Chain A
Amino acid sequence: MSKLYTGAEIVFKCLEDQEVEYIFGYPGGAVLPIYDELKNHSSIKHILVRHEQGAGHAAEGYARSSGKPGVVLVTSGPGATNVVTALTDAYMDSVPLVCISGQVPTHLIGTDAFQECDTTGITRPCTKHNWLVKDIKDLSKVMHEAFKVATTGRPGPVLIDIPKDIQFAKTNYSKFKKEKKLNGKIHNKFSQNEIDQLIDLISKAKKPVVYTGGGVINSGPEASETLKEFVRLIGFPITSTLQGLGAFPGEDNQFIGMLGMHGTYEANNAMHDCDLLINIGARFDDRITGKIDEFSPKSKKVHIDIDPSSINKIIKVDLAIVGDVNEVIKSAIKKINKKQNGLKDSNKQRISKWWEQIQKWRTKDSLGFINSDKEIKPQHAVKRLYELTKNQDAFITTEVGQHQMWAAQHYKFNKPNRWMTSGGLGTMGYGLPAAVGVQIAHPDKLVIDIAGEASVLMTMQEMSTAVQYNLPIKIFILNNQYMGMVRQWQELLHEKNYSESYSEALPDFVKLAEAYGCKGIKANNPRELDDKIKEMLDYKGPVIFDCHVDPNENCFPMIPSGKPHNQMILGPNDKKENKISGKGKSLV
């Protein structure tokens, strides 16, 4: 008779077979058998976080920067409910996570037992799929299916709920064979006819624009290379969503900046006026489209996406190609190269007027701001950070708010998987734990969390994790004492009624850093900024950098409420009368 294994052993056998190296987790009563088994599996390292939400975000950071699924291990009840925010975040941003949660023993399920909750019920709408394992014989099958569901098609989080008695129960384990065959939930069956139609549209367009999203990143690093080749071949301008940054080099001349609510003037105007819109791996989010009725009114629209339910969900398109981004673009390149017939050259001629128009829009310098020599401007801080780190292949995470938009606008990404931000769910407190996960995946790389002081306080406890594992993450806080984006909206939309958006009693971040056992640096003068940033970069351990910035700065450009792309509010450089006075603060 073959050897019998306990449920806990099977969990680790499956993780080993899936080549998992790290688990982010927090122990508790209902997962103790699994934690007991940890010591027998040296290839798997457990990272102890300080809150289960942190485990989830750290796993997201790990997954997004490495392309591998992130694994989370939490206990029943509060352990599971604490991870819900991170699961929802991963669901919105298509990040592959496998979350294993403990559950009370099967005979206690439904009795309101200690630390019991309906975990599969609670996480059903925020996972791609979840399982409650009620029979030890199903465990290995469920574990392997979970990894498959999380990583194939449009990636996303899954959850496996394992009652404690199942972790103790014994059964045999048959070695896992990786199957090559794709199941029915994966859609990669586009036709050559669709590619021909795409090329036909490309060859006729006079005012085209390529609009890329996180799907390109999720398609793997090769997809970014393919995208570069494709865009250079056709010579079109390219813009990107927040999640897609880095798929195409941010410093390339064909890149016209991020689009959407805080996107560049040239990108949004190009979206509005174009006659051909090629969406590659993006999902027409409301922060991108603005007013639907007036979204890109004159264009033929193409949508390339692996998720069939993303097609025609918000914007009706003329040509939909359902498939893996890399495969689709590769086959388009092949066709173009085969055809040749002067497409490349004629294309460039046909769209030269369009490029002239884009250059005109570019001269607006919509990301411009009025710098100061008295106060540090947040945009200036991000720009300096970029200049001082651009040669180090840095990985950037962010929290959510103004600082996130400034980071997206002023930090340029030239490679994929270098930019981790919470876009869909907009989770404040994402960046610090995500930085922990990124640093775990890339121990020798520079990892910076560009943060806001309000966001970072939501998951500040994870500094303790960073210190425990010697993770030299740099927390670069743009401290304006406000929930900046809330304040900005209140200023622009709610008659400057700054209701509850000012933080009265902020901690001393330098002392806080020291309390955690890491280094604290404070800067409040533009003259000392560069030196202080260098000091941060030179320090070998984790750093909290408290960068005091102008509290009244707003994030421009901005498409206001329910307006189309061509009606943007530009920054103070464009409209001097828009300049914000210091009066706002007296209203606090």
Chain B
Amino acid sequence: MSSPKSAYSIPTKKGKLDTHIFVVWVDNESGVLARVVGLFSGRGYNIESLAVAEVDAAKNISRITIVTTGTPQVIDQIKLQLKKLVPVHKVADFKREDKKVIFKEMALLKIVAQKKKIEKCLKECKKFNPVILDKTNKSVVVQITALRREIDRMSKKLKPYGLTSTSRTGAIAMTRGADTFK
């Protein structure tokens, strides 16, 4: 290889990418989401999904759930960098494969089709706690809760049956059992 014309080191081989779910407890103040999201974009980390809402009005705490991918080193960095932000109280980091944690995502699916096709769709959704929120002659809006990849699969599968619009919350997480994350 000819000598590169830069003094910056040549990028080293990329390690294996893992999917991780971060749960971040933050002060619910203006700009806090920008700080968290800006950290990701500024340092070149991925965000696959993001869910955020206030969970404790008295203490003014919001809970942010971020799905991201990265090498173990990057995942480590994300966690440590998040912890350095002033409004961040605590950071939990779970591997997607972690059996001790529940991951769920909610999706609203709008299907516009003939009755038969709609019925087929609803049948497909059965596994994922479907709730019919709206129904007309030609359409249905159904709510399902499932894993991210299950929803990915569902939206692919239902496309031919008349799925016209999908809205997803992004994954949220909770540990199993009586323990809470400290």
Contact = CB atoms under 8 A, between A and B. Distances in A.
The answer to whether A and B assemble together is: yes
A291 B86 contact: no
- Majority secondary structure, B binding face: loop
A124 B9 contact: no
Given A121-B34, A124-B31, A125-B38, A308 B80 contact: yes
Contacts of B42: 125
A312 B86 contact: no
Contact of B9 (A149, A286, A316): A286
A535 B3 CA distance: 47
B9 A312 contact: no
Nearest to B42: A125
Interface string A282-297: 0000100111110000
Interface in B32-46: 34-35, 38, 42
A561 B6 contact: yes
B81 interface: yes
Contacts of B38: 124-125
A120 interface: yes
Interface string B9-46: 11011000000000000000011001100100010000
A493 B5 contact: yes
A13 interface: no
Contacts of B86: 128-129, 149, 185
B77 A309 contact: yes
Contacts of B34: 121, 124
A120 B31 contact: yes
B83 interface: yes
B73 A312 contact: yes
Nearest to B86: A129
A22 to B, nearest CB: 26
Contact of B10 (A125, A291, A307, A313): A291
A584 interface: no
Contacts of B3: 493, 560-561
A494 B76 CA distance: 38
Contacts of A312: 73, 76-77
A290 B9 contact: yes
A261 interface: yes
Contacts of B7: 261, 489, 493, 560-562
A555 B117 CA distance: 75
A562 B8 contact: yes
Interface residues of A, number: 29
A289 B80 contact: no
B5 A561 contact: yes
B81 A309 contact: yes
Interface string B51-80: 000000000000000000000010011001
Interface string A140-156: 00000000010000000
Given A291-B9, A562-B9, A124 B35 contact: yes
Interface string B109-141: 000000000000000000000000000000000
Interface in B72-107: 73, 76-77, 80-81, 83-86
Nearest to B6: A561
A149 B7 CA distance: 34
Nearest to A158: B86
A561 B8 CA distance: 6
Contacts of B12: 292-293
Contacts of A562: 4, 6-10
A312 B72 CA distance: 10
Contacts of A129: 85-86
Nearest to B84: A309
B79 to A, nearest CB: 9
Contacts of B30: 132
Contacts of A132: 30-31
Contacts of A261: 7
A562 B9 CA distance: 4
Interface string A213-251: 000000000000000000000000000000000000000
A506 to B, nearest CB: 27
**Which of B30, B80, B81 has the most chain A CB atoms inside 10 A of its CB?**
B80
Nearest to B82: A309
Nearest to B87: A129
Contacts of A308: 80, 83-84
Contact of A313 (B4, B77, B85): B77
Nearest to B7: A561
Contacts of B13: 293
Contacts of B85: 129
A312 B7 CA distance: 22
A494 B9 contact: no
B27 to A, nearest CB: 11
A77 to B, nearest CB: 19
A132 B29 CA distance: 11
B31 to A, nearest CB: 6
B89 to A, nearest CB: 8
A493 B13 CA distance: 24
A345 B98 CA distance: 51
Contacts of B8: 286, 561-562
Nearest to B78: A309
A185 B6 CA distance: 37
15 contacts: A121-B34, A124-B35, A124-B38, A129-B85, A149-B86, A185-B86, A289-B9, A292-B9, A293-B12, A309-B84, A312-B73, A312-B76, A312-B77, A493-B5, A562-B8
Given A286-B9, A493-B3, A561-B8, 17 more contacts: A124-B34, A124-B35, A125-B42, A128-B86, A149-B86, A292-B9, A293-B13, A308-B80, A308-B83, A312-B76, A489-B7, A493-B5, A493-B6, A561-B3, A562-B4, A562-B8, A562-B10
Q: Which 8 A-B pairs have the closest CB atoms?
A: A309-B80, A129-B86, A562-B10, A493-B5, A561-B7, A125-B42, A292-B12, A308-B80
